[in-house]
Amino acid sequence: MTAIAPVTEEVTDLLRQLIRNACVNDGTPESGQEVRNVDLLTSYLGGSGLDLERYEPSPGRQNLVARIEGSDASAPSLVLMGHTDVVPVNAEGWDRDPFAADLADDVIWGRGAVDMLNLTASMAVAFKRLAVDRSWAPRGTLIYLAVADEEALGTYGADWMLEHEGDAVRADYVLTEMGGMRMPLPSTTGPKLPVMVAEKGSYWCTIRVHGTPGHGSMPFRTDNALVKAAEVVRRIAAYRAETSLHDTWREFVQRADLPEEMARLLLDPASIRAFVEGSDDAAMARMIQACTHTTFAPTILHGGVKTNVIPDSVELQVDIRTLPGQTGEVVRGQLRDALGDLADAVEITAQSDDASSASAVDTPLWDSLSRATKALAPEADIIPFMIVGATDARFFRRAGSVAYGAGLFSDRMSFTEFASMFHGNNERIDRESLRLSTEYWDLVARDLLG
């Protein structure tokens, strides 16, 4: 049996405790209760002589900041940021208890194992090891930030911290979720590991569909809001926005060292549309389509008051993810196109309108990540990519920081399998990935901060 390195044991134990605390964020103000994970992280980091500060925007919604001060105010500063909340779970779809944090065959199972407690734990372990290393005297400041509420809108987490306690967390560079998985690309120069230098925007909205109430026993030629809403859902699901090749996508293709024919396909809007519509590789088609199109996902539908009453009102919630340069008005125009003659029969109310964000690629942080990757995975190179969901990186980009989603993972799980676990069933992470990510943060911090 292969011996497990002490750092692997340490990060494994911390991750399992974070999972068991079950800080489930369902979007309501009282959910999350991230104080449980902040208590744990405070206890873990507390014996290192670190300056720890806790911030509580709302009862139970706590954030933790730890600092290793640099010796040179002009040197770069770096934040390692992980969130401590997780999304709700339907345990019936899991093979194991999602909050038991089972360890089996060197794999830890549980909600948050991938999104993103594995990185929150590995960042904490790397940070603590750097703090107690008396031989390391950085020129630049290193900050560990554990935030609440990432799985909703960041209201009680990163957004609040930057608005109310900016001096505690602002930095030149930020690392957060999620990168470092081996992409299934036919690259001519070895494996490519994505670093998320950009993310799509989000336009969450509620569409209200109105009808006329009546008796359920006489449905013929009634103005049934639920029937109308079903057609609204169908049209939105069928809608295909125009293909858009933004700068991050072009840079990704150019740096991927792909065969010429495939590179040509990925830089031609018509070819991309044909590929995603006809490909047998559903996972790859989904990823390419999401990276090059505005996406529309009807997710929640509420309506009706009683079985024998024709519903006069239905509310539909839609998750819309936008590309660089797209405003809320552009999205509303796309919705009108999708709905056609039903556009004037509905009311659209925005719940959030967060624009897409991006950071430059050619930076000292990129260079540090590249060198750390070569040290731990010599055969691989990092490559810029866009994450199609939302992360807390967007708040820091707007505040002037360069923010990337990064990490380093083993090849035990495929890119497709890994991606499917975000907000899905059977989240799990192998211990080798935990070790690699911990060593990765350590190397990057030493390289960047001196």
Q: Taking Cα atoms as reference points, which of 163, 94, 77, 43 lies closest to residue 424?
A: 94
Q: What is the mean pLDDT of residues 425-431?
A: 95
pLDDT tens-digit series, residues 417-426: 888 888 889 9
Cα 224 to chain centroid distance, Å, stands at 38
Residue 362 has pLDDT above 80, yes or no: yes
Residue 280 has pLDDT above 90, yes or no: no
Name 143's bridge partners: 67, 79
| pLDDT the model gives residue 421 | 87
Name 162's bridge partners: none
Q: How far is CA 268 from CA 120, 254, 260, in A?
A: 38, 13, 13
Structure tokens at 237: 């699901």
Q: Are 341 and 231 in contact (CB under 8 A)?
A: no
- Integer Cα distance of 56 and 401 in angstroms: 23
Structure tokens at 97: 């208890």
pLDDT tens-digit series, residues 318-334: 999 999 989 999 999 99
* Amino acid letter for position 292: T
Contacts 24+ apart (CB under 8 A), 58-62: 58/29, 58/156, 59/30, 60/30, 60/32, 60/33, 60/34, 60/35, 61/29, 61/32, 61/33, 61/34, 61/35, 61/148, 61/149, 61/156, 61/157, 62/34, 62/35, 62/38, 62/148
Query: CB neighbours of 405 closer than 8 A, spacing ≥ 6?
Result: 175, 176, 177, 178, 179, 195, 196, 199, 387, 391, 393
- Integer Cα distance of 107 and 123 in angstroms: 19
- Integer Cα distance of 435 and 187 in angstroms: 26
Burial status of residue 74 (CB atoms within 10 A of its CB: 0-12, 13-18, 19 or more): exposed
Query: pTM to 2 decimals?
Result: 0.90
Residue 114 has pLDDT above 70, yes or no: yes
Residue 3 has pLDDT above 70, yes or no: no
| pLDDT the model gives residue 413 | 84
- Integer Cα distance of 445 and 126 in angstroms: 9
pLDDT band at 281 (very low <50, low <70, confident <90, very high): confident
Q: What is the mean pLDDT of residues 393-411?
A: 96
The whole-chain average pLDDT of the chain stands at: 94
pLDDT band at 137 (very low <50, low <70, confident <90, very high): very high
Three-state DSSP state, 393? helix
pLDDT tens-digit series, residues 151-173: 988 999 999 999 999 999 999 99
> Which residue in this structure is represented by tokens 């449905």?
219
pLDDT band at 2 (very low <50, low <70, confident <90, very high): low
- Integer Cα distance of 440 and 450 in angstroms: 15
Q: Taking Cα atoms as reference points, which of 115, 135, 189 lies closest to residue 428?
A: 115
- Integer Cα distance of 286 and 279 in angstroms: 10
CA dihedral 18, 113, 127, 63 (to 10 degrees): -50
In this structure, the strands spanning 78-83 and 142-147 are: parallel
Residue 301 has pLDDT above 90, yes or no: yes
Q: Which ranges of 94-157 does DSSP label H, i.e. alpha helix?
A: 117-132
How many other C-beta atoms are found inside a 10 Å radius of the C-beta of residue 274?
Answer: 12
pLDDT tens-digit series, residues 212-268: 999 999 999 999 999 999 999 999 999 999 999 999 999 999 999 999 999 999 999
pLDDT tens-digit series, residues 67-110: 999 999 999 999 999 999 999 999 999 999 999 999 999 999 99
| pLDDT the model gives residue 260 | 92
pLDDT band at 285 (very low <50, low <70, confident <90, very high): confident
Q: Are 165 and 321 in contact (CB under 8 A)?
A: no
Name 173's bridge partners: 78, 402
HSE-CB for 219 with a 13 A CA cutoff: 11
pLDDT over 70 for what percent of the chain? Answer: 99
pLDDT band at 1 (very low <50, low <70, confident <90, very high): very low
How many other C-beta atoms are found inside a 10 Å radius of the C-beta of residue 255?
Answer: 17
